[in-house]
Structure 1
Amino acid sequence: MALDDGRKRWIAAIFVVVTVWFMSVVIAGLASVFSSTSSMETGNVAIIPIKGMITTEESDSLFGEEVATSSSVIKMIDEADSNQLIKAIILEINSPGGTPVATDEISQRIKKLQKPNVAYIREIGTSGAYWVASSADYVIANRMSITGSIGVIGSYLEFSGLIERYNVSYERLVSGKYKDIGSPWKENSPEERMVLQTSIDLIGSYFIDEVAKNRNMTRERAATLATGQFYVGGEAIKLGLIDELGGKDEAIRYIENKTGIKAKTVEYKKKKGLLSMLSEATSSNAYQIGRGIGSSIVNSEIIRLR
């Protein structure tokens, strides 16, 4: 009887702790919903973070990876550009890339900036993230940062051989010739592969055009770099992909030299909803267990710049 009472007290205690933790996260999340996009501090140089996968929409997964949505990044840029106290903008990039549309949306907005701006790449700024960085007036990266990787990927898993092994058939019912193109449950025909590759090549061509214009190099030169290979900062500067080796301090110094002001930075932050708060407050261990399989399945048919 004493053992049962002790067990009940432990269960009750654990329940109370979990409840209090969960309510604190909910309250913090609700407060965040109504918080401002930018920091309450004042400054004359805005730091806008672009961290994680670049997408058009926020992830709905409780254990999802950090993402930089084009809408949230553009909103921060709009606020900084319209704020008369802000004289320049620093884009802090730490991203492996993302979707073509989201990347292009951010890139086009950066090129419309009316204020001096600089991108600095921390650990990684590859593919779509490099496209974004190249849109800035000036690009800085650490000598060991990973950048470049100019190219497009649209690969996916194909299970037709697996389902045949277990005597499972794919019943094809479509109204259009290419309606199920890229389906993982059937093998693509040579014609279908050509259709997919044509689309990939077209997006890749847009990527090359943008890098050439942004970095003031010939298209032929940009095309020779569009192999998908990544480069560390020390290599990238020799190839003309970045302008300077360094980090935040060098970015601030560039702004001060460009504008003649004494920089006081203020970090802009995207508004986070309740789900984002829950995601950050929850351990990511459970997500990591199935990350490899889950991410492959979810992203199997999404074209990404990475």
Structure 2
Amino acid sequence: MALNAEAILERRSLRRRVAFWRVAAIVLVGVALAVGALASRGAGKPGPRSAHIARVELSGVIMDDEKRAKLFKSLDKSEAKGVLLVVNSPGGGVTASEDIYVAVRKIAETRPVVAVVQTVAASGGYIAAIAADHIVARQNSITGSIGVLAQYPNFSGLLDKLGVEVESVKSSPLKAAPSGVEPTSPEARKALEALILDSFAWFKDLVSERRKLSGPQLAAVTDGRVFTGRQAIGLKLVDELGGEDEAIAWLATKGVDAGLPVREWKPEGSGLGALGLARSAAASLADGLGAPALGAALRGAGQDGLVLDGLLAVWQPAAQ
């Protein structure tokens, strides 16, 4: 019995030690994440008294982004003498693209802004690019796709096969139309088309104003197609072929010292934590330490979600 009691005590001691190291590891992970978050907050924030050329990268699908909006406001108040707006986006929400356009034009009131088109600046990405005073693109960059669309699924056929009927009570026939659970009525389609055409008219007016195009020239570039950089320069959608070196050279023609340092501006939290690497590693470690609830919480903290709602200005090649 004495031997069994000793074994039991030893097992209890071992469990306590294991539990201690689990808690210690989780605490260390938390400290590491906190340090990373604090470091990322300072990233991309040049001192307001330091003259520089600001480089802002706009990539991926354009959505509403409060952190990006704060970045543009900070940039507007900074000592940046010129701005490189590097665009690599197929577009996204029309309203989100409009917000970027307005923010960039405000910055351009006090310093020159040049857009650099990387692989693609189409639809909403092109809306952002034309906010700049000058656009530089590679010969094979993709740009254009000037247009607006609204897409929604129609599950009515599937529901009929499943024997499911969705009933609704509406204040008017066009309320919540189109819904996706019933065929779109001609009246609803007409109302949606009017919405699309109004946003498209706004987009075309923007292109006409910023690129000095009208009549046949404007019609030639606003039918929704995309263009290479080589085509776009002939159509006056871009101003110059090249990359960031050419963009900085253009800033120099506007009085910006080309020798100034180019400083990267990034939204708060866009460091390692925003990429999800530290969070994923911490979540995996928490799972391995027997803390699945913590792992789930860490993963959930990064689920911002990719939701595109409303009218879209986005280039999406169809998969045939």
TM-score range, shorter chain: 0.7 to 0.9
Distance (whole Å) between structure 2 residues aligned to residue 278 and residue 239 of structure 1: 38
Paired amino acid for 1:98: G
Residue number among 99, 113, 135 corresponding to 2:131 in the alignment: 135
Residue number among 274, 279, 289 corresponding to 2:276 in the alignment: 279
**Are residues 1:159 and 2:159 paired?**
no
Distance (whole Å) between structure 2 residues aligned to residue 210 and residue 28 of structure 1: 44
C-alpha deviation, 1:32, in angstroms: 5.0
* 2:59 counterpart residue number: 51
* 1:206 counterpart residue number: 202
Distance (whole Å) between structure 2 residues aligned to residue 17 and residue 126 of structure 1: 49
C-alpha deviation, 1:20, in angstroms: 8.0
Residue number among 259, 267, 272 corresponding to 1:270 in the alignment: 267
Residue number among 78, 82, 89 corresponding to 1:88 in the alignment: 82
* Larger-Rg structure: 2
C-alpha deviation, 1:215, in angstroms: 0.6
C-alpha deviation, 1:31, in angstroms: 1.8
Distance 1:22 1:190, change over 3 A: farther
Distance (whole Å) between structure 2 residues aligned to residue 263 and residue 26 of structure 1: 34
Distance (whole Å) between structure 2 residues aligned to residue 171 and residue 133 of structure 1: 45
Query: Which secondary structure does the structure 1 equivalent of 2:80 belong to?
Result: coil
Alignment of 1:220-299 (within 5 A): 220-261=216-257, 262-272=259-269, 277=274, 279-281=276-278, 299=308
TM-score with structure 1 setting the length: 0.77
Deviates more, 1:165-174 or 1:74-83: 74-83
Residue number among 68, 74, 83 corresponding to 1:73 in the alignment: 68
TM-score with structure 2 setting the length: 0.74
Paired amino acid for 1:242: V
Deviates more, 1:108-117 or 1:198-207: 108-117
Structure 2 segments unaligned to the other structure (5+ residues): 1-18, 281-304, 315-320
Alignment of 1:91-106 (within 5 A): 91-106=85-100
Distance 1:179 1:37, change over 3 A: farther
After superposing on structure 2, the runs of 4+ consecutive aligned residues of structure 1 that deviate more than 6 Å are 15-18
Query: Which secondary structure does the structure 1 equivalent of 2:218 belong to?
Result: helix
Q: 1:220-254 CA distances to partner (integer Å, 9 max, x unpaired)?
A: 52233112111111111111100011111111111
Distance (whole Å) between structure 2 residues aligned to residue 205 and residue 249 of structure 1: 35
Q: Retained in 2: the 8 A contact 1:43–1:265?
A: no
Paired amino acid for 1:233: G
Q: Percent identity?
A: 31
* 1:65 counterpart residue number: none
Distance (whole Å) between structure 1 residues aligned to residue 175 and residue 29 of structure 2: 45
Deviates more, 1:35-44 or 1:258-267: 35-44
Paired amino acid for 2:71: M
Distance 1:36 1:21, change over 3 A: same
Alignment of 1:160-179 (within 5 A): 160-179=156-175
Residue number among 189, 197, 211 corresponding to 1:215 in the alignment: 211
